[in-house]
Structure 1
Amino acid sequence: MPHETRRPDQAVKQPATGGGVVFDRVSKRYGDFTAVNEVSFTIAPGELVTLLGPSGCGKTTTLRMVAGLEAVSGGSIRIGGVDVTNRAANERDVSMVFQSYALFPHMNVLENVCYGPISGGAHKARARELARDKLRMLGLGELEQRLPSELSGGQQQRVAVARSLVLEPAVLLFDEPLSNLDAKLRRRVRQEIRELQQSLALTVLYVTHDQSEALAVSDRVIVMDGGRIAQQGTPHELYEAPASRFLADFIGDANLVDGRVISAGSGARFEAGAVAVPVGVGGLRAGPATLALRPHRLRIVAAGQGLFDGQCRRADYLGSHIEYLFTSPWGELLVFGPADGPTCRRGESVGIDFDADHAIVLPR
């Protein structure tokens, strides 16, 4: 893989102009099938919002309606305060970075980035000036004569970003932009995208199915399920306070235990499998409930010293931590332990403990 050229430190820091996006009760139907069902959200100028969800949830269709690549069946879309619901894609002042990059293989880097302004009627000299400015901004100034086949995956991704930025859109759209990169390069490029978005105050709508990617790059995340918004909020809000079993299971790892809240208020307790433990439930009433426990919130203690005991079935060393699987009165529990801490052997019995404030109780 060719060496990754790093972008210069804050070469250009001129905030992008342009307004935000307002999606107002937008629907998309294909015959009898509703892909997006009365979805509403707002993206403020300079904000990066991610649409996250499993395959078929409607996130890509939503992105394509913002871009003007899919017609709206109902509702309205405004960009920068202007109603663009019925406008063509080339009349919306948006630019998209595609999953496949879509670089012209016979054109060098500079020619690829120039293509948009030139096809839009810009003078060739002016188009090259704009393209070189964006390439320098992304640390690609020395690669402008290379063909796409001579670039690494990360460099090709940045060329695709430069090609979109050169059009100076009001809104930049990303469609699964990192899915073709390996895990280590994906982390590096997502950091570069985030730094660029923040330094230029770009308004961005970003689509991914990768939860860690969404949490890392976003000001706000909108989780979609079945064509509707399941929940939206900051990455911290979605991870620490999911609104449903689906959200708790989809955002990060979680152990889900079905049971009952048997008392409410400050002395609330959750009961399942003949084990009752104290929990914080907020305004949740007594009755059927699901307890969501993040694996890193569970603690391994000596047998008989925790809330209940478990038996180790598996211990996988992953470098940064050890991933344990325990059998317990609450079924199988996934627990993350420190790599440099005491370890459990297969078949060993231990106590399992957690703080009441870290238990997420969901109505069922």
Structure 2
Amino acid sequence: MEIKNSKELKKYNRYIILNQIIERQPISRTELAEILNVSHTTISQLVKELIEEDLVVESYTKSTGGRPPKILSFKGYNKYIITLSFKETVISLAIFDLNFKLLHAEKINVKDNELTGLIEVIGDVLERLILEKKIKKKQILAMGISVPGIYKDNQDLIISSTAPYLNGQSLMKKIKNKVDFCPVFIQNDANIAVHYEWNYMLKKRYDNLIFIYIGDGIGSGIIIGNKLYSGSHGNAGELGHMQVKSTGKRCICGGTGCLEMLSSIKAIENEFKEKVYFTIDEIIKGYLSGEEKCKRVIDRAVKYFARALSSMVSFFDPEIIILGDFHNLYRGKIKDKLEEEMKKSHIFCVEDRPELILRNDRGDYQFSALYIYVFEHWKKEI
């Protein structure tokens, strides 16, 4: 963080003090001063502000003789973050308190492709939950929204989304018409996932990593030098639109031969729609049992995916790649197949190949990832 003036220095000191209290609670002022190498005067002044803002509480520890020392803890149980995860057919809503406790989760089915109507439904659900949970709007400190596709925050515009009702929409403007009581953060779903993996799941042990999500579309989030990399125009990570074949079906981006049209869940399912409809679960079951067409379709999808993955490795040289969503249904076979295919690609040293991790997509993954993303940004803005 570049600090240009005393105001920014104070804001930065507030952030690091609050962060240390959250991570090391309960903790004393003296311990904070020693860990952060900040003066006791600065610690006391900023802690006083955090207590007045009801973010930190002070209590006494048991005394072993003499005056009992005071300790500081974060007060997160009566403050909330709302998360919204947009997908093609469903919008998932959750409420967390600031102690990372999931208080409520529910799904809103997308019955038509009209965003304004969906925003009205979201607003109604929020009003109902605020009443049911006896939450005051001033206790909701932020809302986080994940979207499939590219979100250009300088234009408030979503493009290249697998959710048709989001394409070309100004989501921030529409949401703020309903949610005007807290700051709102919007980010691409794969970027949120890679931030979660780097910051929370992997505890910042890796400087460079990639998270790849395969669902109806294919996207990736990239961390380079411990920072989220989104490119000059916010378009980085759109792995699904990498051309891996000279010809093919027309993609939503306008191109042909895109990875998304060959290796996504929707692309695999579409291979079976001409005769009998199969879900991805049924196709994978057929693959595991050796059914010929399932094997042919899956093996082809893996071949093209491995080709794109090898290019990503050559471009970014990551330490680790996390594969999210439906990969876990292969029971590890997809990982073996990918590693086998990647061995055919040119990587200068075998030991430089990144580690591949399969991440089980448990039901609250995107909720948790979005909460962590928003919580980290909120701490820096207070």
> What TM-score bracket applies, with the shorter chain setting the length?
under 0.3
Please identify which structure carries the higher strand content.
Answer: 1
Provide the TM-score with structure 2 as the length reference.
0.26
Structure with the bigger RCO (C-alpha within 8 Å, sep 6+) is 1
Q: TM-score scaled to structure 1, two decimals?
A: 0.27
Greater helix content? 2
